[in-house]
Amino acid sequence: MFIFNDKLRKEENINIKNSQKEIIFSTIDNKKIIDWLKAKGFHESFIEDIQSEEQSITYEETEYFKLLILKYIKFDEEENLLYDDSNVVIIITENKFIVLAEEKEIITEIAKKFEKRYKNQDFYYITYIISDILIDNTMLIVDVIDETLEDLEDHIFHEDIEEDELQKNIYYARRTLNRITKTSIQEKDAINRAYNKFPPITKKKLKYEFIDINEHLKYLINESKTLLDRTGYLLNLHMGIISTKMNKAMQRLAAISLIFLPLTFIVGNYGMNFKYMPELNWKYGYLFAWFLNISIAIAIYIWLKKKKWI
């Protein structure tokens, strides 16, 4: 757990001081924070919302509390291109700004990034900072997916990737991009609702900061949709390359059949049982049959080579 007054302090046992302005980073299972929220009239349904990872992105406001739930997109530890999301809860009271997440690693990362950007701003500006940290993290994920899809495209062109692996990567990429698109749309709505509740003077002061957030979210939505289209293109590209390889294989088989078809015809003629066949009593008849077969085969081969069938 981290507490911000003038600087970031890590404390295992937090002592929340009601009269003091504090910025608190902790996990959602911190009993002292939950008890403090309940004692201050934080609604029980809100407690259930912040403790449930199934809770979607939202903004709620009462007379004493403001609640904003956003998403932190994180790398999956086992699968490439598969990402998980986790709730980040922002609770704002008169003199407390509380940031909660399920995992200690997430809250630690957010707190350290926040420390670098904090300059004794009010809670409204801090809302912008935390939101921007989460959105920047999502933009990083999208950039990683973009680079990975470029690598996949190279592998497809060089035909050095297994089909099962490609199918799995495309599936995970599409799943993650769909999640990011949905998350970005919901975050755009929730953050704008929070911003519209700011006092007029604060709204004017932070106008360009929240325009910047909206531009980033718009970028995430558009880029995610573009990359989704790209995954479809990669699948089509892979299937096209496979189809081309199969067509070439069939073409080679057809070319081989074309070479042997006239030879089979000639051999079939000489396999007929007739008493009077001129070449049967001819001294060079056997050599002539070989010469004819070889000449026809070479002629067809040269013709196929010119047509680039083989």
Residue-wise pLDDT tens digits, 166-224:
888 888 888 899 999 999 999 999 999 999 988 999 899 999 999 999 999 999 999 99
**What letter would DSSP give residue 9?**
E
Helix (H, G, I), strand (E, B) or coil at 66: strand
pLDDT score at 169: 86
pTM: 0.78
The pair of structure tokens assigned to 10 is 């890590």
CA quadruple 129, 131, 132, 134: dihedral sign: positive
Q: CA–CA separation, 170 vs 51, rounded Å?
A: 32
Q: Could you tell me if 113 and 8 are in contact, meaning their C-beta atoms sit under 8 angstroms apart?
A: no
Give the residue among 239, 269, 273 at the shortest CA–CA distance from 163: 239
Q: At what angle do helices 163-196 and 123-158 cross, to 10 degrees?
A: 160
Q: CA–CA separation, 106 vs 230, rounded Å?
A: 30
Q: How many residues does the chain have?
A: 310
**What letter would DSSP give residue 82?**
-
Residue-wise pLDDT tens digits, 267-283:
887 777 777 777 777 77
pLDDT score at 223: 93
pLDDT score at 189: 95
Residue 212 or 7, more confident: 212
Q: Residues spanned by CATH 1.20.58.340 within the chain? A: 250-306
Q: Residues spanned by CATH 3.30.460.20 within the chain? A: 2-243
CB count in 10 Å sphere of residue 299: 12
The three-point CA angle 123-125-128 to 5° equals: 115
pLDDT tier for residue 7 given thresholds of 50, 70 and 90:
low
pLDDT score at 292: 84
pLDDT score at 226: 92
- Write down the CATH superfamily of domain 2-243: CorA soluble domain-like (3.30.460.20)
pLDDT tier for residue 2 given thresholds of 50, 70 and 90:
low
pLDDT tier for residue 10 given thresholds of 50, 70 and 90:
low
Q: CA–CA separation, 8 vs 112, rounded Å?
A: 8
Give the residue among 68, 95, 64, 54 at the shortest CA–CA distance from 193: 68
The pair of structure tokens assigned to 301 is 């081969």
Three-state SS for 35-64 is HHHHHCCCCHHHHHHHHCCCCCCEEEECCC
Q: Could you tell me if 297 and 255 are in contact, meaning their C-beta atoms sit under 8 angstroms apart?
A: no
CATH of 250-306, one of 3.40.47.10, 1.20.58.340, 3.30.390.30, 1.20.1250.20: 1.20.58.340
User: Residue 6 pLDDT more than 60?
Assistant: no
Q: Could you tell me if 133 and 212 are in contact, meaning their C-beta atoms sit under 8 angstroms apart?
A: no
φ and ψ at residue 97, rounded to 5 degrees:
-120, 110
Q: CA–CA separation, 72 vs 222, rounded Å?
A: 19
pLDDT score at 286: 79
User: Residue 108 pLDDT more than 70?
Assistant: yes
The answer to which of 116-125, 142-151, 276-285 has the lowest mean pLDDT is 276-285
Distance in Å from the first CA to the final CA of the chain: 70
pLDDT score at 3: 67
Residue-wise pLDDT tens digits, 14-35:
667 666 788 888 888 888 888 8
pLDDT score at 14: 64
User: Residue 131 pLDDT more than 90?
Assistant: yes
Mean pLDDT of 2-18: 63
Q: CA–CA separation, 25 vs 2, rounded Å?
A: 5
pLDDT score at 284: 80
Q: CA–CA separation, 63 vs 61, rounded Å?
A: 7
Residue-wise pLDDT tens digits, 189-204:
999 999 998 899 989 9
Mean pLDDT, rounded, of the chain: 84
